[in-house]
Every structure is written in C-alpha cells, then in structure tokens.
Amino acid sequence: MRRTCSERRVCKVLGQPRSTQRYAVRTRDDERPLVQRMLALARRHPRYGYRRIWALLRQDGYRVNVKRVYRLWRKEGLKVPRKRREKRRLGHSGNGCVRHRAERINHVWCYDFVSDQTVDGRSTGGR
C-alpha cells in the first residue's frame, strides 16, 4: 500500500506523538507460565477473585505484584461469576401447590392474615 501523507504530518493532524507509531509491546519471558497457573487456579476455584488468586500464586512461589495479576486477569477476560439466587420451590406435585394467575374475579384467593378477632375482641383461632 502506498502512503500519500508522511507519518509526521498524519501524527500532527491527529495530535498524537510519533513514538506511538513505533511502539512495540514486549512480553516478559516468565509471563506465559504465570498466566497458565493463574488460569488453572481460576478454573479450580471459580469463586476466587484476582486478589485471592494472587495470594495463591505467592504461596506457589511466584514473585508477582498484585497489580500485575490484576492486569493479566483483565487481559485474559476473567471475572468472578455472580452468585445466582436460588429459586424458591413451590412444593411438589403431591400437595398440588401451584402458583395461579387470576383469570377472573374471585378465581385466586390467598390468606394474608395470621389471626382474626370478633367484634367483642375474642380470638377466632389461628394460634
């Protein structure tokens, strides 16, 4: 592909330093085994976050900074999965406890009281 403008002119128009065009990312030699171990620990302990994984890496003998673990954690796209709420059970088919939607007036009733009393103050049960 043929250039129509110089690198100097394009960088000046975009307002970005020319050094960013020549920047080459260097990865460390010890980073790949560290990432592999981090991924293995994350698979083994899915509820652990990056701080807990960092502590386990330190116990394994890796001399690693927590900021570096966080950077690699985000680079690998790891996240602690949200806890799923346990669905409340409605009972089993033996007692026929099924949640109904009202189809007409007075179709579905529910009890919203624990006890009641008569006009003269006596209890009607519900103990």
Question: How many independent structural domains does the chain possess?
Answer: 1
Q: Does 58 map to a domain? A: yes
Tokens of 55: 């502590």
The neighbour count for residue 89, using CB atoms within 10 Å, is 7
Q: Does 88 map to a domain? A: no
Residue 26 has pLDDT above 80, yes or no: yes
Q: What is the pLDDT of residues 72-111, one digit of tens each?
A: 999 999 988 888 887 766 655 555 556 667 888 887 777 6
Residue 11 has pLDDT above 70, yes or no: yes
Q: What is the pLDDT of residues 104-114, one digit of tens each?
A: 888 777 766 66
Cβ atoms of 65 and 57 within 8 Å: the answer is no
Tokens of 45: 């302990």
Taking the C-alpha atoms of residue 106 and residue 108, their distance in angstroms, rounded to an integer, is 6
Q: Does 116 map to a domain? A: no
Q: Does 118 map to a domain? A: no
Taking the C-alpha atoms of residue 120 and residue 115, their distance in angstroms, rounded to an integer, is 15
Containing structural domain, residue 47: 27-80
